[in-house]
């Protein structure tokens, strides 16, 4: 019986990964940096603790003079965009209906994201859905980030539940792996990016089409 649903934020609740990708492209174009935008898909679903940049930059080291200055400049540029952005514009249109569905069934709702707490609360508040969430935890709260299952196990223990009583909603490779390693049922929002979601138990375009999972498991 499903008693709790754990949501990733970016690419699941809000279409922020597409938005962030466009800001990255703007920064590359504005600074004449000849690194293919597709390389930056590697950053999706990752935390700053993970050393993904070495892999991202492999073969493109000659395209920039100072890697640390480049990373700092890109982070600063995107941070300035996030501060004034209206996240309600990129809230996935199926989310509010599904959150209401869960609340009406007294199912616990948590947000388990690799992003920081200020960003998460800001985005959820601007989308007018913060009040739906019973619990929020972030990648900053743990020694290991996704694909470690730590964040999902922590959510589970906070509600005093078992893995089979939890449903994980993800999109990224690392996020899906984290949910699976926690021995939870994982559904994934279909992504426009090229990375594989094959390890998810189910892939959806509209999350409300997955309600049958709760109906079946909650009989």
Q: What is 4-15+87-217's CATH topology?
A: Rossmann fold (3.40.50)
Per-residue model confidence as pLDDT tens for the chain (219 residues): 999 999 999 999 999 888 988 998 999 999 888 888 888 887 776 655 556 777 777 887 777 768 888 889 988 998 898 888 899 999 999 999 999 999 999 999 999 998 889 999 999 999 999 999 999 999 888 888 899 999 999 999 999 999 999 999 999 999 999 999 999 999 999 998 878 899 999 999 999 999 999 986 555
Token code pair at residue 66: 């100072």
Cβ within 8 Å of residue 206, ≥6 positions away: 94
Q: Indicate the pTM of the whole model.
A: 0.85
Q: What share of the chain is helix, strand, coil (3-state, %, to 5)?
A: 50, 15, 35
Instruction: Indicate the domain borders of the chain.
Output: 4-15+87-217, 17-84
Q: Where are the alpha helices (DSSP H) in the chain?
A: 16-30, 53-57, 67-84, 95-104, 117-126, 150-158, 173-181, 211-217
């Amino acid at each position: 019986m499903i008693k709790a649903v754990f949501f990733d934020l970016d690419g699941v609740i809000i279409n922020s990964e597409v938005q962030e990708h466009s800001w990255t492209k703007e920064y590359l174009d504005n600074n004449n940096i000849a690194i293919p935008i597709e390389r930056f898909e590697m950053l999706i679903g990752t935390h700053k603790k993970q050393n993904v940049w070495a892999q991202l930059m492999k073969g493109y080291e000659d395209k920039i003079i100072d890697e640390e200055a480049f990373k700092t400049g890109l982070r600063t540029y995107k941070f300035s965009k996030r501060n004034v952005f209206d996240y309600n514009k990129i809230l996935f249109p199926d989310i509010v209906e599904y959150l209401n569905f869960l609340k009406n069934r007294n199912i616990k709702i948590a947000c388990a994201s690799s992003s920081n707490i200020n960003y998460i609360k800001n985005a959820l508040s601007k989308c007018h859905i913060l009040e739906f969430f019973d619990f929020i935890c972030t990648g900053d709260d743990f020694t290991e980030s996704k694909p470690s299952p730590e964040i999902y196990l922590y959510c589970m223990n906070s509600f005093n539940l078992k893995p089979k009583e939890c449903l994980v909603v993800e999109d990224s490779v690392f996020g899906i792996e984290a949910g699976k390693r926690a021995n939870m049922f994982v559904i994934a929002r279909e992504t426009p990016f090229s990375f594989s979601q094959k390890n998810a138990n189910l892939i959806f375009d509209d999350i409300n089409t997955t309600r049958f999972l709760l109906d079946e498991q909650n009989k």
